[in-house]
Every structure is written in structure tokens, then in C-alpha cells.
Structure 1
């Protein structure tokens, strides 16, 4: 596999480091081009990792022809998108036009200026999450190329968990609810707003209208940001306050797992109360917008300003204490009786720092994506068309998790 990594942030770096570690004999990971709009950042990652399989270069991932030129120049056969969400469709199309296979960790969506909320995603979104990709499924099949979307911890590993629960823990699964929580604390940053992940991605997910699925009510339901607040006891973590967020799992699980009897699906995440308050202020000031505005004769995207000014996740490392916990709560029927359980993965910041020198949120996401890419490279998670991980057998992924000590557990209720 000759891979082009688009975006050399902390998650991208984690992915490459793990792939190199997993294939020291260069049997399936032979080359990687580290590409970024900030070529100095790509160069720094190249120096840090220091492996002969790596090169670095400049690419503006909003420019399709530039992405294609780099793919062709370096004889790339697999493109990994670890860039900002607004670049996703450009990179996806560039890979297709170059007859390359492709993967990403999330898709792009664009909410309407005035969302209608209520039933139907299309009433609140100009571009619905995953739709751009799944609409291209047939042409990717005809071309014979593979596109894997939504790799990471969530979406990604949790999609594998959901498929496993449907196949092996239940006769009928009626509800799947993704829960993303933590007990992280950050020393020395008490007065700062901490996003914990790519700032653009957080703004996309949290500020957009959220989506859940309820078959009895007619399908997908769209609600205002920060709705659906609940308190939930996360395994090994403790009580978390969670809110609904727009996330691809709600769409992909309904697409692939409805045959198991799925009636309800949601995604909720734990957000710091100060961050919620700040984001609500930004929303009221329209500073979360992605449409350019004129500032003293200069075109500026408000969300870019926030992303540039905020404390960056890769600057927060060993100051962080605690753990992440991400999993799927499933409810259904087994042997004629009601059943409820949660399949989850916990990752401590100490563990993340020891393995990667990266904070837990970043490392957990990168670790998950790297495992899926390894299965792709070995031909196990590879078939023509556009798919998320529910389309594949969950067992190989879980075996890799066990092999790499990326521990998962199942809690019965």
C-alpha cells in the first residue's frame, strides 16, 4: 500500500506511527506521503517519526487538481483523509478520479441557514452527512475502487461494536445509542476553553442541528444544538452529562443494521459546561458560520478564526489526567427476554502518552483508524463501493484490538 495522508495533525501522525509499528517488515505498508497545507508541519512530523518509508509535501486539500497531481506524482493507491471536514468531498473526488482507494474519519455536512427541525434531515441540511459519499457508491463499484468512510473511534470502532452486538449478543436489537464520555481534567488550562479534538470538527458536530432516529415517529428527527441532555453512568468513568450531537453513526447504523430490528438510534457526547456556554455565545454572534464575511476588505470565514485562536489539542499532552470512554448501549431481545448491555473502549491519557506522546482523545481516534486501515491493506476490509465498517465482519477488527491491547469490554445491565 502506497498511502497519501492528507492532513498531518495529531490524529494523522498517530495513524502513521501505528501503521509503521504494525508492519516493520514492510509487507503491506510500503510508503506514505505526509501532505498538509502547512508543509512545515508535515516536515516536523516527518522528522519526528524518522522512517525511510515517509516523505512529506505541500497540498491544499481544497484544490482537487492539486490533490490529484500529488496522487499521480507519488504513485499513490490509497488516500487517507485526516484533514478538516470541509475538505472531505474534494479529497474523496480526487481519489476517485485517480482510480485510488480512499478512507476518511468523518464526512461533511452543511446545515441550512434556517433549519426547520423536526422530521427529516433534508429539511434542516443542505448537505446531509454521508450522503455525498453513499450517493457515489455505484460509480465506485463500477470502477472497482474501495472507499471506507467514518474510521476512527466514533464513528468507526463503535460501528464495529454495533455490528458485533447485533450478530452475537442479541436475537433482535431494538435500540443502539452511542455514548462518548470522559473524566478528563487538564492541569494548567483551567481558564481556557478546551476542545480536546480538531476545533473545526468539534464546531461542525456540536453547533450543527443534531440528528436521532426513531422509527415509531417516522424516521430521522432533527433538534436544536445541545438538546437531549441526560446524565449517564459511563463504565469505568462515572457520571457524565451528555447531549445529542450530529454524528454519522445515526445514519450508518440505520442503513446497515435495520435488518436486526433497529427502532431507535442516537449519539450523545459529554461536553464541558463552560464549552457549551461559550459555543452558545458564538452561535448567537454567528461566529460559527462557514460562509465568508468581509472584514476591512478581507474575506474571512468566522469558523476559521475560532479554530485558529482556540487552544489546539496537540498542545495539551501530559497536562491531561483521566480517561476517555466510548461505546454503544444496546437494547433488545435475547432468548425471548429483554436485554441491555454496553460494549465500550476506555483509553487513559497516561496510556496514550506512553504509547504515542499524544493526548487520549487524539490517540484513541488514531488507533482505531489505523486498525481499520491495516485490515484494508490486508484485503480483509476491502470491496468495491462506498461503505462504513458495519458492512464488514466485526471479528477481525476485534481480534486486532485484542492483539494490540486496545481493550474493549461488554457490560451487562
Structure 2
């Protein structure tokens, strides 16, 4: 397996660092529009693990150009293209991978477009629609695209598949619930606003109409931040108010798993929700370029890109961050014995540990771990297929076993939890 990693930002950097401890692949080409950033990732690996003898190399890539993606993939004989950049680049990387006759993985799917008339009631173009529309092309080519294989979506979908297969005879709801107690402070110790993940992506998923799926109704939308609930997260995180947010799980799980209802709720907090609403009111969430005066004359710039540039890079805030993040799926229904059952399957990442081990903050590290596990399962033949498939299309047990097995036993040493809630 030869992996072209597109993007050496926070998550891409963590993917390379995690992969450096594994032996299932021949080479990883760490690529970025900023070659220096890709080179920095490779240098960190060589400093920590010694000379790589070509196993990790850096390359420049233009993720917005499918021809360039295909060219870099061909030049390096890539068998798999791992997309680790913002979802606005999904269409071009997706096309470039197929043109290069390579397999493909991503952690966020092609973007949605709200309904032009009833955005808070009806769907229009849904997350991933563009990719699933091309499934036949991937099948004809005999190639596999695994979409949404980060932590959420990704590990959450694996948990859902495990619950359906092994824990429940009938599922009422598959509810992804994400919460944390993370705090970021400045040098003086004051708590500051610094999102732990790409603000560009966070704006996209939080301000778009959330999607809900019900067996009798199909996919429909609600207003942003709707249906607030207090969810109790394990491992000391505690109660966090969660709200409906647009997310890929709701678009993925119903394609393969039998449930009456599928939801996604995110623990944002009142301050974060207020900031997002303000950005929307000021049109600073827009991706459409506007004319801005500068010392060198008028320039065209997208307001959302300005917001992203003005905030701290999520990849750099790890040393200022404390706390834990939790990703998981809350499942209700009937257990295998026919009695009511309610469980929460989850994984917790502690920022202190991820910084000490990888110099990666916990949110990006937790996201990065899962595509590496998936790549290893594909390399070893535990997962296989053709077409465009989500994580729940594969057997969950090999994934969770490899994830939880100790490092000494050849695993990733990442225990996951199953908490009975009834």
C-alpha cells in the first residue's frame, strides 16, 4: 500500500504521526499546498523515529485541481488517496483519485445545499450526494471510496454497526452525541475562544439546517441548534447541552443500518452558539467572495476565509488546551433478549496524553486515528469492497478489536467504552 496523504494540517499531520508507528504500508507521501508544512511533518517523524529511507516523503499538491491530484498520485504510484483537507475540496480530490486509478478515503463528505424554499423542513442536496451519485463509476473501475471515516463520522458509524449487529434486536434511535470539557487559555491563563477544529468546517455544519432521519418520513431538516438536550458524557466530562447539527452520520447510517430514527447532536455551549449566530447575522459565514479595499487595491475575499485566518490554527492550540473530548453513539431499542436496552458506545481522548505522545491536540488526534485503522484493515484484507461505501458497510468487530488491542499485541491501545444507560 502506497498512501498519498492530501493535507498536512492538524488532522493530516496527526495521521502521518500515528501511521509512523505502524508497518502495514510501503510509503506515505505527505502532501500540502504549502510544501514546508508537509516537510515539517516528515521532519518530525524522522526526528522522533529515525531515518525513514523514503517511507515518508513530502510533496506539493493543489487540492483544488483534480488533474494535479491525479498527477501527484501517479508520480508516486499511490494505491490510496487519503483526503485530510476541508470538505470544499472533496469533489476535486475524489475525481483526482479515480482518474489516477487509486482508492480513496475521506473524513468529511461532499457539501450540502439547503432547500431554496423550505430550508428548515426539506432537504435539497445532502451531504455526500455528489459522491454517492458517482458510485457506479467507482464500481466499474473496481476501486473503493470509503467516505466519512474520521471520528464523527467514522468511529461513530463503526459503533452503530457494532450495536446493530451485536447488541440490539431492534433499534429505535442511533444518536451520535459529541461532547467535551476542553478549555483553551492564553499565556496569562485567561480562557479564550479558540475552536479545536477547523472553524471553516464548524461554521458549515453548525449553521446549515440539521438533518434528521426517520423510517416513516425519510430525511428532513430542522432549524440550526434545535432540540437541545443535556447529555451526560463519561470519564469525568459530565453533563453537556447538545443540539442538532448537520452531520454525515445521519446521511450514512440509514443506508446500511435498520433503525427507526437517526440523529446527530453536538455539545457546542451557549458561548459558541452565540458566536456562530453573530457570524451568520454579519454574513461572515459566507463563502462567496466580496470586494474588500486594501493598501494594494481592491481584492476579492470570502468572509468565512477571513474568520478562519483570524482565529488560532487548531493544529497549534494543543499546548494551551486542557480537558477531554468524547465521541460516541447513544442507542435505544430492544436488546438481543427482547427487553428494552439503552447504551452509549464511546471513545475518549485526553489532550494531555495526545500532546505528550504525538504533539497533537486531542480533537484532531482522535479524528486522525480512525482513517489509519481503516487503511490498516484494507491493507490486511479485513475490509474490502468496491464503489462508494460508508464505515457502517464493513464489519465493525475487526476495527474495534484492532483499536482496543494493546500496542504490545499489535493494536492501537485505545480502549472504547460501552455504558448501559437503563
- Return the match for 1:36 from 17, 23, 32: 32
User: How does 1:49-64 map onto structure 2 within 5 Å?
Assistant: 49-50=45-46, 51-52=52-53, 53-64=55-66
Which residue of 2 is the match for residue 8 of structure 1? 8
1:303-382 aligned at under 5 Å gives the runs 303-334=304-335, 335-382=337-384
**Number of residue equivalences:** 401
Residue correspondence of structure 1 range 14-413 to structure 2 within 5 A: 14-23=14-23, 28-50=24-46, 51-52=52-53, 53-112=55-114, 114=116, 116-122=118-124, 127-188=125-186, 190=190, 192-216=192-216, 218-236=217-235, 237-258=237-258, 262-296=259-293, 297-334=298-335, 335-403=337-405, 404-413=412-421
Unaligned 5+ runs, structure 2 = 47-51, 406-411
CA distance in 2, matches of 1:157, 1:240: 20
Structure 1 residues 5 and 115, CA gap change in structure 2 (3 angstroms): farther
Query: Aligned equivalents of 1:115 and 1:379: distance in 2?
Result: 46
Does the CA contact (< 8 Å) of 2:79 and 2:102 recur in 1?
yes
- 1:267 Cα shift? 0.4
Q: Distance in 2 between matches of 1:394 and 1:307?
A: 35
Q: Say whether the 8 Å CA contact 1:12–1:82 is kept in structure 2.
A: yes
SS of residue paired to 2:64: coil
Partners of 1:6 and 1:115 lie apart in 2 by 36
Instruction: Answer whether contact 1:34 1:46 (CA < 8 A) is retained.
Output: yes
How far has the Cα of 1:273 moved from its partner?
2.2
Q: Distance in 2 between matches of 1:340 and 1:14?
A: 33
Structure 1 stretches of at least 4 aligned residues deviating more than 6 Å after TM superposition: none
Contact 1:193 1:311 in 2 (8 A): no
TM-score relative to the length of structure 2? 0.92
1:217-251 superposed Cα distances (whole Å, 9 cap, x missing partner) = x1222122222211111122200011111111001
> Within 2, Cα distance between the matches of 1:115 and 1:18?
45
- Worse-superposed segment, 28-37 or 88-97: 28-37
Q: Secondary structure in 2 aligned to 1:22?
A: coil
Mapped contact 1:119–1:220 kept (Cα < 8 A): no
CA distance in structure 2 between the partners assigned to 1:412 and 1:295 by the alignment: 54
Structure 1 length as normaliser, TM-score? 0.94
Q: Is the 8 A contact 1:192 1:311 kept in 2?
A: no
Q: Per-residue deviation at 1:354?
A: 2.2
